Amino acid sequence: MEQTELHSNQTYSYLALRKAVGWIGILIPFTMVLGMFLLFDGKTIQQSISHYYHTGMRDVLVGAICAIALFMFYYRGYDKWDDWTGNLTGLFALGVAWFPTVETGPNNWVGSVHFYCAGLFFLTLAGISLFLFTKKSWNPTRRKLTRNIIYIICGVVIIVCLIAIQIYFHFINDNKSESTFVFWTETVALIAFGVSWLTKGGTLYPDK
């Protein structure tokens, strides 16, 4: 009885962590914008979420990304591929936090590390949603099949956002534009990431 209760408590704690990381992902962009407007008299939205590193919201941004990184290192799935993917995602998240994007102008080596870590971070998140979360048991429930559809949609949305950002940087951006295209595209990708993890945490279509 005690072992069953302990296992149940551990399961609920793990689901709660998944929900927490999902909410962190969703709330990051909105927290950056509201924090700048309310606390630091911000007038405009930054070009990307990463540009908030160069504002008064830097510590909040770095703290949120590091929290996601720590959870990814802690995350343990069903096999070694889950574990390795979680560790890689955590490593890329730390790269995003510790190597900031340049404030203005062309990239230096630090900004390049940030750019590639951010891309790989989102790519591994898409992979987790598409290939790991969708693993089926021999007799999946109808709700599990519905969750798999959500995971696939979220993974595809993240990949589409990555492609859109690549197209923007290679064919549209002139390093002088103050467009918020990247910010909103990253926001959509983070929302997709958050929805995927909230679903995995039992918020959407949990098995009864």
Q: Reply yes or no on whether the pLDDT at 7 is more than 60.
A: no
Give the model's pLDDT for residue 176. 59
- Local confidence band at 208 (pLDDT 50, 70, 90 cut-offs): confident
- pLDDT tens by residue, 162-202: 999 999 988 887 665 679 999 999 999 999 999 999 999 98
Integer Cα distance of 62 and 187 in angstroms: 16
- pLDDT tens by residue, 33-74: 999 999 999 989 999 999 999 999 999 999 999 999 999 998
Integer Cα distance of 75 and 197 in angstroms: 12
- pLDDT tens by residue, 72-124: 998 776 677 788 999 999 999 999 999 999 998 778 999 999 999 999 999 99
* Half-sphere exposure of residue 205: CA atoms within 13 angstroms, side-chain side: 16
Instruction: Provide the residue ranges of all domains of the chain, joining segments of one domain with +.
Output: 2-200
Integer Cα distance of 109 and 105 in angstroms: 13
